[in-house]
Amino acid sequence: MYFSIDPSNGVPIYEQLVRQVKFAVADKVLVAGQMLPSVRNLAQELAINPNTISKAYAQLQTEQVLEPLRGRGLVVRPDSLHRCVTARQELLSVRLNAVLEECLHAGLSREEVTSMFEKALSALA
Amino acid sequence: MYFSIDPSNGVPIYEQLVRQVKFAVADKVLVAGQMLPSVRNLAQELAINPNTISKAYAQLQTEQVLEPLRGRGLVVRPDSLHRCVTARQELLSVRLNAVLEECLHAGLSREEVTSMFEKALSALA
Amino acid sequence: MYFSIDPSNGVPIYEQLVRQVKFAVADKVLVAGQMLPSVRNLAQELAINPNTISKAYAQLQTEQVLEPLRGRGLVVRPDSLHRCVTARQELLSVRLNAVLEECLHAGLSREEVTSMFEKALSALA
Amino acid sequence: MYFSIDPSNGVPIYEQLVRQVKFAVADKVLVAGQMLPSVRNLAQELAINPNTISKAYAQLQTEQVLEPLRGRGLVVRPDSLHRCVTARQELLSVRLNAVLEECLHAGLSREEVTSMFEKALSALA
DNA sequence: GTGGTCTAGACCACC
DNA sequence: GTGGTCTAGACCACG
C-alpha cells in the first residue's frame, strides 16, 4: 500500500496519487473499510506538499472511492471495489480509443494499426 | 497544407502545429524543399499570435524538420521525410504500448484486451 | 552561481545564459539536484525579461541539463555533469578545428600556425 | 573563380561572398585588374538575390579590394593582394585568439588547450 | 510560490 | 518581404 511518486514526469503528483489509490483498491491491496495514511504522514513519507495529498484525497472522496470516518480519517468505501474496477476498465478503454483514433487520423491503415497492436501485445511477454 | 488548430484543447497550440507539420511531411503533403507559410501569414490565417507560430517553427528547426533559407523563409529539409515517418510510427507505437501495458497490469487478460481493441477499432468508422 | 550577461553582445541573451549554466554544471558550480534561481528572481537580478530566462531554461530542459520539479522549480539533472563536460570539450574542439583548418587552407604552414597559437596563448595572461 | 554559397548555414550570404572573393585574391585566383562577374550574372548563376551581390561588392569596395572601372564593372585593385593576405592572416589570428580565450574562460588549463591544439593540428593530415 | 503558454508590439539583420 | 530576439503583461495549473 505504498505509493511511488515521480515529481518530474509531467503527470501532476495528485493525479498520480489518485490513480494509485484507485488501482490499489481495484487490486484489493486496499480493501473496504481500510484506513488511509493521514495527510501529514503520507506527505512526510513521500516528501511532498501536504496540500497535494489533500487534493488527491478530496478528489477520491468526490469520486466516491473514499469516505471520511468522523474525525478519525479516511477509509475505503465498501462499494468502491466494483467502481474502481469498472472505472479502470473504462479509463483504459477511453485511452485505447484515443490512441487508435490518432493512428487512423495520422494516416495509418487499419491493417497497419492491427499489426502494430499485435506486435506490441506479443512483445509484452 | 492547411492546419486546423483547437485553442481550447489542453494541448498547446504550438505543439498542435509541430505535430501537424510533422504529419504533413510524413504524408508527403509537405515535400522536401517546399516552403512553409510565413510566420505572419499563418498567424493571420489561423488567427493566432505570430510568436506562437515562431515557437512551433523554432522547434521544428531544432528537430531538423525545417531549415531556414536566410531572409526567404523556412523549407522542409530534404532528409526529414524518413525522420517524420519513423517519428510518427514510434510516437504512436510507444503510446499504444503504454496503454496495453497498463491494461495487462490492470488485470485484464490478453483476450479481453484484444476484444477491447477490436471493438474500439471497428467503432471508428 | 551568478551569471553575467552582456546584452549588447550580438550573442542572444538566452544563449549566453544557456552557455553559462552548462559551463557552471561542467565546473561543478552547479551540482546534480541543485535548484536554479526562479525565473522571476533571476529576471529581476539580471534586469531582463522573465520570458528570456524562460526561453533559456526551456532549452536547457530539451538538452536534458535541467528537469522540472512540478510547482517547485528546476533542478540540475543527476546525469548532466558528464553531458556538460563533454559538450563543452566538443564545442571548443570543433571551433578550434575549424579555425586551424581555415589557417591551413589559407596557405599558412604548420609552423606558422603553431607559432601563432603559442603567441596567442602566452598573450592571454 | 566560382563561388559556393550555402543559404542555410547561418553565415549571411553576402559575408560568404566577401570572404570568398578576398580569399580568391589572396590565393591569386583573382589577380590585379581582373574583372568580376556582373551583379546580374553572378546573381543568376548562384540563384540568389542581386541585392545580396551588390551588398557584397559594395563592402569589397569600401574595404579597398575592388574598384569600379567607369561604367564597365568592378576589377581587383592592384594593391589588394597584400591587403587580402594580411587581412586573412589577421582575421584568422583574431579568431584563434577568441577560441583560446574561450577555452581558458571555460576552465580548461593551458596544458589541456595545448594538447587539444596539437591533436587537432595533427588530425588535419 | 513555481514554470508554461499566449498575446501584443517593437526592433533587428538579411534578402 | 523573411525569421529571430526581446519586452511587457496576462492567465493557467501545480504545490
Closest chain D residue to B33, measured at CA? D8
Question: What CA–CA distance (Å, rounded) separates B24 from B71?
Answer: 24
Q: Are D70 and D4 in contact (CB under 8 A)?
A: no
Cα three-residue angle D87-D92-D95, rounded to 5 degrees: 125
For range A4-20, the mean pLDDT: 91
Q: Model confidence at A125, in pLDDT bands (50, 70, 90)?
A: low
Give CA separation, D44 vs A121, D37, D40, in Å: 58, 11, 6
Q: Does C125 touch chain D (CB under 8 A)?
A: no
pTM of the model: 0.89
The nucleotide closest to C71 (CA, C1' atoms):
E2
Is B109 in contact with A105 (CB distance < 8 Å)?
no
B51 CA → E2 C1’, Å: 23
| E strand or H helix at A69 | strand A66-69
Q: How far is the C-alpha of A63 from the C-alpha of A22, rounded, in Å? A: 10
pLDDT band at A105 (very low <50, low <70, confident <90, very high): confident
Alpha helices, H only, D48-109: 50-62, 80-105
- pLDDT, position D105: 79
Q: Residues D100, C120: contact at Cβ < 8 Å?
A: yes
Instruction: Please tell me the distance from the alpha carbon of residue C121 to that of residue C115, in angstroms, as a whole number.
Output: 10
At C53, the pLDDT band (50, 70, 90 cuts) reads very high
D89 contact C CB<8A: yes
d(CA C52, CA C50): 5
Helix orientation angle between A110-123 and B110-123, rounded to the nearest 10 degrees: 160
- The mean of the pLDDT values for chain C is 91
Q: Does residue C51 lie within 7 Å of nucleic acid chain F, judged by its CB? A: yes
3 state DSSP class of C75: strand
Among protein residues, the one whose C-alpha sits closest to the C1' atom of F2 is B71
Instruction: Report the residue from A97, A113, A121 with minimal CB separation from B100.
Output: A121
Instruction: Verify if strand F has an atom below 7 Å from the CB of C10.
Output: no
Overall average pLDDT of the D77-87 stretch: 89
How does residue C64 score in pLDDT terms, banded at 50, 70 and 90?
Answer: very high
CB D88 within 8 A of CB C106: yes
Nearest-by-Cβ selection for B99 from A92, A101, A114: A92
Identify the pLDDT of residue C90: 86
What confidence score (pLDDT) does residue C104 get? Answer: 83
What cell numbers appear for D41 in the block?
550574372
C-alpha–C-alpha distance, residues A62 and D40, integer Å: 75
- The CA distance from C69 to C108, in Å, is 53
- For residue range A56-83, list pLDDT tens digits in order: 999 999 999 999 998 889 999 999 998 8
Spell out, as residue ranges, where chain B has pLDDT lower than 50. none
Q: Dihedral of CA A17/A22/A26/A29: which sign?
A: positive
Max CA separation in chain D (angstroms): 57
pLDDT surpassing 70 at residue D5? yes
Supply the angle between the helices A80-105 and A13-26 in degrees, to the nearest 10: 120
Grade residue C118 by pLDDT with cuts at 50, 70 and 90.
very high
Give chain C's largest Cα–Cα span: 58
A1 pLDDT more than 70? no
Residue C78 pLDDT > 80, yes or no? yes
Residue C9, CB, strand E, below 7 Å? no
Q: What percent of chain C has pLDDT over 70?
A: 98
Q: CB–CB of D120/C103 below 8 Å?
A: no
pLDDT at C1 (0 to 100): 67
Chain A touched by B27 (CB under 8 Å): yes
Whether CB of B33 is under 7 Å from strand E: the answer is no
Reference B60, options B43, B82, B77; nearest CA is: B77
**Can you tell me the distance from the alpha carbon of C59 to that of C8, in angstroms, rounded to the nearest whole number?**
21
Q: What is the mean pLDDT of residues C64-93?
A: 92
Is A47 within 8 Å of chain B by CB? no
Are residues A53 and A42 in contact, defined by beta-carbon separation less than 8 angstroms? yes
**Lookup: cell for C115:** 607559432
Query: Which residue of chain B comes nearest to A111, CA vs CA?
Result: B121
